[in-house]
Structure formats: structure tokens, C-alpha cells
Amino acid sequence: MKRLIPRITLDLIILLLLCIVLRSDQPPMLSAWDKIALPYTFGITGWEFSNFFNKWEYRLEQLYYPDRLSDEGRVNLVEEYLSLAQEASSLQDNLNRKKAEEISLEEEIKALEAQLAELVKKRNGLEARVEEIIEGQISKILADENVAKTIRIAGQVEFLFPPVDFEFEDQPYLLIVSPRHEIEITKTILLRPDLNLEQIADIEDKVSGQGMSALVERIGGVATYPSVVPRSISLQHLLSTVAHEWLHQYFYFHPLGRNYRANYEMTSVNETAAGIAGDEIGSLVYNRYYSQGNNEAEEGNEAAQTPQESEPVFDFNKEMREIRLAVDAYLAQGQIEEAERYMEEKREYLVENGYYIRKLNQAYFAFHGSYADTPTSVNPIGGYLKELRQRSPSLGEFIKTVSGISSYDELLETIG
């Protein structure tokens, strides 16, 4: 026990500094977009400090009352938590729908609310332990892959920097602002997770009134410290998301992260690299700890399936890429209104084919296009980074190489 106390003390000091350096870098002079979003902004600094101390209060408790669960017990606990989170999410949706319809009896509503409260209580009771389990599993993979630097404390323990640290939280919204004449991110602002559709539309309309393209959309995770990760997602998506956000924190201390906002290309390099490596880390964790039981279930499902004749399938990725290329062509000719009419027509077409997109505009493509390995992107960065990963002898070497890239030209030089 005594051997670990110096480590915890150093952890707390370093992580407190980490919270400070990773906090929001909002400029002192508010832009027009900042003023529009101000009543709805997500308070990053306050959230980080409150959750930082909550997390480390739990970790200090673990010094004196360590978790004795086996690896199998930890896996079962994670799966139980995700099951409760999904059940609570589905029940919340059902409750919201019944309230909106205004045809359910008051007794039925109260019964559902009581059921939801019980589910949330059970879920929250497991939350800190599950976060700790997943952080430990990802940390082991990172150590095995020699991804992050480690330092020995008094020759007894190793310290992974930055430590993997995340919190389950409702997904914040993100306001994306883009010019109308080109697809490029002008500004992004984090917004509270409790916005309703009326507030979202009001924000978008006010930004559009300034002659810009605007979109408010939920995001999968936020690289605050600890990072924000949504509760109700699949296990593999969860593992990849935690790893993805950790990579942003790691990149922050290297040239890649420091140049995140230098230009659109560097934002794309950062996001795409985190996506490629985060997915690989997530798969490694899943295969080591979770795949055995799930593989048996998948094999059973495959055996139960009967072969069916292949039917033409709507290719969403192909459609999105063609839409993006057409929009770029319109904008290159200065045909802004034509591009916007075309996007709305295509949005309705996608909805007819089962793909609901609330708003398809320049801001949509600017945000989703920053992930260069997605169909909404037309730049070659995704291909370059995939090639760099294939050339790298290990995942760790890929992350170390890409983290040292400070410009798009340097990426091209690295690829050769």
C-alpha cells in the first residue's frame, strides 16, 4: 500500500495541471457565433474540475478497498452496465414519446418514471467501477504497444502519460460554422446536452442570418480531461471512442495536437489519425477481453440465418461521396443557391431510402469531412494515413510518427 501513495500524489498533481492546460481555449474577444451560442454553451472548465476530483476521490478509495474482481468479473460488470444504459435509454425514449402524445394515463407515466429512476440508479452505481475497468484495459494495450512514454517512480511503478481517463456523460452538442461559398470549418462551439429542437433551430437560424452555414449536431465524444463519452453505445464503439479521445489528449503534447487548429488540413490529419488508431486500439481491447463469449453468440446467429437471394442495396457511402463532389463543383462555380437546393433534394432522397439526416449543408460536410476516411471527405489525407499505418512496423510506431507531424507538407514528406 505504501508503495502506491507517492504515485497517487504525483498523479493528482500532474492530472490537475493536465486539466488546466487542456481546458477550453475560447478567445477573450467573442465572435458573432460565440455571442449567439453563449446562452447554451457547455462549461468545459467547470465540468473538468468537478469530474476530475470525483474520479480521483474514487481512485483514492480503491487504495484502501481495492477491487478484487477477476478479469471475467470485470467483463461481466461492463456488459451489465451497458445493458442497463441501453435499457434506460430506450425507456427514456418511450417515456418522452408517451408524454408528447398526451394520451397516456398519469398512473402509467408515473410507473414508467419510477422504473426509469430505478434503472438509472443501478446504472450510476456501476459507473465509476466500469470506467476504471475500461481505463485499465486500454492502458494495458497502450503499454503493450509502447504507445506512450512511461516514467518509473522510485524504480517501482510506471506512469502512463497522459493517463487514460474518461467519464460517462450525456453527449454535448456542437455548433459547426462554415462559409456558404466553400466547405471549411470557421468555428466550432460546444453546447449543452439538454438542448431541444426549438433551441437548436434558433441557433442555426441566427448563424445563418449572418450569411454563414450552420449545423448543431451531437458528437460522439469530447477530448476534455477526463474525456466525455456517451453511455448508450455498443461495446466496440465505446472502446474505440475512449481510445480516440485519449489519442487527442496524447497528441496535445506533440506537434500534431499543437497544430490542430492551424488549418483545415491539420484538423483532418488529427481527427483521421485518432480515428484509425482509436479503432485499432478498441479492436485490440475487445479481442483480448470480450471477444470469446461474443464470438460464440455470433456463430450461433450465423448458423441460424438462412441464405437469401441478394438484392440491390442502397449504397449510402457512394451516394454521400457523389453528393459531396457535386456540391464542390457547384461552389467552385460560385453557384451557392444551386448547391444548397441540391443538398436539400438529396437529403430528402436519403430520408426516402432510410437514412435520416436532419440538415445537409456546407457545415455538415465541413464537420464530417474532417474525418478523411469517411465518404463525406474528398481529400486524400485518409489514404495517406492508412498507407502510413501499413508502412509502420507497429501501432505504437504509427502513433509516434504521426504525432510528430506539424504540417500537411510534413505529412507528404513522411509519406514520400
pLDDT tens, residue by residue, 258-292: 999 888 889 989 999 999 999 999 999 999 999 87
The residue to which cell 464470438 is assigned: 295
Pair (400, 346) in one structural domain: yes
**Cβ–Cβ under 8 Å, residues 251 and 399:** no
Q: How confident is the model at residue 306 (pLDDT cuts 50, 70, 90)?
A: very low
Give the pLDDT confidence score for residue 53 in this predicted structure: 63
Q: How confident is the model at residue 297, as a pLDDT?
A: 46
Contact 150, 161 (CB under 8 A): yes
Q: How far apart are CA 22 and CA 258, in angstroms?
A: 11
Does 255 have pLDDT greater than 90? yes
Whose cell is 425514449? That residue is: 93
**Cα dist. 88→81, 94, 103, 171, 239 in Å?**
10, 10, 22, 15, 20
> What are the two backbone dihedrals, phi and then psi, of residue 158, each rounded to the nearest 5 degrees?
-110, 150
Chain segment 335-394, per-residue pLDDT in tens: 999 999 999 999 999 999 989 899 999 999 999 886 655 655 667 888 899 999 999 999
Quote the pLDDT of residue 55.
Answer: 60
In a domain, 300, yes or no: no
Residue numbers of the domain that contains 347: 173-294+316-415
Last residue of a domain, one of 165, 188, 222: 165
151/177 same-domain check: no
Mean of the per-residue pLDDT values of the chain: 83
280 and 385 share one domain: yes
Identify the pLDDT of residue 222.
Answer: 86
Q: What is the mean pLDDT of residues 147-160?
A: 60
Mean pLDDT of 179-192: 93
> Is 215 in the same domain as 187?
yes
Percent of the chain with pLDDT over 70: 79
Question: pLDDT tens across 210-222, in order?
Answer: 999 999 999 888 8
Q: Is the domain of 270 the same as that of 359?
A: yes
* Global confidence as pTM: 0.81
> Cβ contacts of residue 302 below 8 Å, gap of 6+?
none
Domain presence at residue 178: yes
Asked whether residue 280 is assigned to any structural domain, the reply reads: yes
**Which of 118, 142, 165 lies at the terminal end of a domain, its last residue?**
165
* 14-23, 164-173, 317-326, range with the lowest pLDDT: 14-23
Do 131 and 54 lie in one domain? The reply is yes
Most confident segment among 45-49, 109-113, 348-352: 348-352
**pLDDT at residue 6, as a whole number:** 42
Give the pLDDT of residue 292.
76
Cα distances (Å, whole numbers) of residue 239 to 88, 91, 293 = 20, 24, 17
pLDDT band at 8; cut points 50, 70, 90: very low
Confidence category of residue 46, pLDDT binned at 50, 70, 90: confident
Boundary residue ending a domain (148, 165, 182): 165
